[in-house]
Chains A and B, each alone.
Chain A
Amino acid sequence: MVGIKTADELNKKFLREGMWPTIFCNGCGHGVVLEYTFWALEELGLDMDKVIFSSGIGCSSRLPGYINADGLHTTHGRAIAFATGIKAADPDFHVIVFTGDGDCAGIGGNHFIHAARRNIDMTVIMINNFIYGMTGGQLAPTAPLGSIATTAPYGNIEHPFDICNLACALGANYVARWGVSHPYQPIKSIKEGIQKKGFSLLEFLAPCPTAYGRRNKLGDIKKHWAWYDNNTILKEDLEKIMKYGTEQEKEQVKEKIPLGVFQDIQKPGFFEAYEKLVDRLKEKESKPKGAKK
């Protein structure tokens, strides 16, 4: 039951009045992730009074400003910790965090790790553009080997961070990575992430032509966007090729970034476990002292 059919109708419903135009450059991928999120929210039909956004600092972290909903635009790297408190205050909230690769995998890495480990009920949407966009193109922890940043002028020699891998290892309930050129799977995946109890991570690979593309000779905006199609592969396809493919086929795909759902499990979320603890204490104390079980 989707009432809304066009992007215009969608924007009218979900965009915050008075904040337009956005700060985003031409060809920036962040707006697409916002649009996907709107479609997911529309299809879920959630009460938007109870959907609360939190974000850190960066271009990607500006997204909650454009959404007609409560939003806490916090400090660099800390959005997930703020979101933990928001959710603790009211179990009816759906808490969604927008964050960047610098914000989440860099300065905020520790908060990310522990929220995932605790399985805190929230949906983290991390937009990975391989760069610190807002501050003008400094090296990000996700930057591919050899890529150029203002603070890696001779090419990056650090190994890039695979944040999905990390989230899986921590036992997060839902982990997925997508790009921004094919809407259907990502929108479905955002829906799954939001509906999931416990911690879900959605990583989006999104172009930043201004601070990354230009410097890394990815060409004009169109070519830059095409880079993502040429350098990613669906996880299932990758697995098939690695299992059944020829050496040549394997060689062709082994450097590509896998997309898809990497983890989808049902561990109890933190607040579910916490509520059980509260109930257990209540029950224990309501029994007369000395009574046996």
Chain B
Amino acid sequence: MKYKRDPKRIREVLGKKVQFILGDIACVYGGLLAGVSFFGGYPITPASEVAEGMARRLPRVGGVYIQMEDEIGSIAAVIGAAWGGSKSMTATSGPGFSLMMENYGFAVMTETPCVIVNVQRTGPSTGQPTLGAQGDMMQVRWGTHGDLEALAFAPSTVQECMDFTIEAFNLSEKYRNPACVMTDGEVGHLRERIVIPDEKDLKLIDRTPATIDKKDFIPFTNSQTIKNCKVPDFPTFGTGYRTYVTGLTHNEKGFPATDKQPDHERLVKRITEKIMDDADKLVMVEEMNLDDADIAFVTYGATARPAESAMEMARKNGMKVGLLRLKLVWPFPDKLITKLAKDVDKIIVPEMNLGQIVHPVNEYACKHCEVVSAPKIGGEMHLPMELYKYLEGK
């Protein structure tokens, strides 16, 4: 039987409205609320709880869970399911995310909506399997070959693991691009209180289905039902549109067009512009104490937590410190960073890597202020005191 989202059943399976759960499980909840009906996964610490949570719950709502043979197969099946009409997702960590890179690009090129949760751990390679990191923030942006735009969230709390998984589905469906929830071992394995939103407060976006006459339908061009929209209407397999979907450079009909420069440029420009035209609307940040700040933290994910504590310590001691937390890291909020750089003397970028998001911050700060990287690796979060020292300039 083809899956149909049943809100009542989903809520029965999720249980009480207020719960105390793991970040990874909150991603499961987010997926189920969004209407996921296919999960393909492969076990990997610290993301396995997402697969385990799905294996328990997905069959109970009538969706399909399959443990695939590896992460290449997981993302492949997820993309296949999306073309069959499912909302689909997978979850992994660094080594698996690396394996997914080729098909991640395939999803971009074929404009396939799907969600990847990456519970980041340290690397390169097997690294520290149980410990958190933020080392894949550039990989999600540049890790597959060719030109693309990424949609990448960074939750700081367990609540956000759920909320951002729902939002990742929404953006992915809206723009027909894979969307990633870049959580990490710290938040993924954190237990916190969450509040499950009521059905009436859930805003779910679904891909726009192809509805026009079959003979007039053009699968890889601007929407034929929404004006000025660069996202094509979605011809779900089995609905009679008989679409050919290829990762080769293709023309508007979807046919391979691999030897002419303009075909490639037209295609890749459209699939990047469909997101970047909306970049300013997509900005999702939290601003704390920025009105009068001389120094600002720009941070995201787990690292925002010690940064907030350091900010509070500094405020108590009379220092004017603020914080800009990126909820959606990609597309990057470039204009906001430029404005912030004009307003403050210094931006400090704490990250659990040797400095990744500090690079676009530096680029868009446009030399209006000093930009300092505050890296920490090895699977430990920054201590507030360590970040406080950056504020003191030590």
Contacts and interface: CB of A to CB of B under 8 A. Distances in A.
B79 A93 contact: no
Interface string A79-117: 001111111111111000000000000000011011000
Interface stretch (A26-34, A240-248, A274-282): A274-282
Interface residues of A, number: 43
Contact of A91 (B1, B40, B66, B102): B1
Interface string B240-279: 1111111110000101100000000000000000000000
Interface string A53-89: 0100000000011001111111100100111111111
Interface stretch (B80-88, B283-291, B311-319, B373-381): B80-88
A245 B239 CA distance: 55
Contact of B76 (A49, A81, A93): A81
Contact of B2 (A92, A114, A277): A92
Given A86-B84, A274-B64, A52 B77 contact: no
Given A64-B244, A75-B103, A85 B77 contact: yes
B255 A19 contact: yes
Contacts, number: 156
Given A83-B80, A89-B80, A90-B84, A113 B1 contact: no
A13 interface: no
Contacts of B247: 73-75
B59 interface: yes
B68 interface: yes
Most buried by B among A54, A70, A118, A278: A70
Contact of B69 (A83, A89, A111): A111
Given A73-B244, A92-B2, A85 B80 contact: yes
B106 interface: yes
Given A85-B84, A274-B64, A78 B72 contact: yes
A72 B85 contact: no
Interface string B1-17: 11100000000000000
Nearest to B64: A88
A213 B79 CA distance: 37
Contacts of B62: 278
Contact of A49 (B74, B242, B256): B242
Interface in B74-130: 74, 76-86, 88, 102-103, 106, 110
Nearest to A84: B77
Contacts of B69: 81, 110-111, 113-114
A85 B76 contact: yes
Nearest to B74: A81
A89 B76 contact: no
A19 B243 CA distance: 12
A88 B38 contact: yes
B79 A82 contact: yes
A158 B377 CA distance: 45
Given A86-B237, A88-B86, A75 B81 contact: no
B37 A89 contact: yes
B244 A16 contact: yes
A50 B74 CA distance: 23
B146 interface: no
A255 interface: no
B53 interface: no
Given A89-B2, A281-B60, 4 more contacts: A72-B237, A82-B79, A84-B73, A93-B238
Interface of A: 16, 18-19, 48-50, 52, 54, 64-65, 68-75, 78, 81-93, 110-111, 113-114, 118, 274-275, 277-278, 281, 285
Interface of B: 1-3, 37-38, 40, 59-60, 62, 64, 66, 68-70, 72-74, 76-86, 88, 102-103, 106, 110, 235, 237-248, 253, 255-256
A-B pairs with the 8 shortest C-beta distances?
Answer: A89-B84, A85-B80, A85-B77, A85-B81, A81-B76, A81-B73, A73-B246, A82-B80
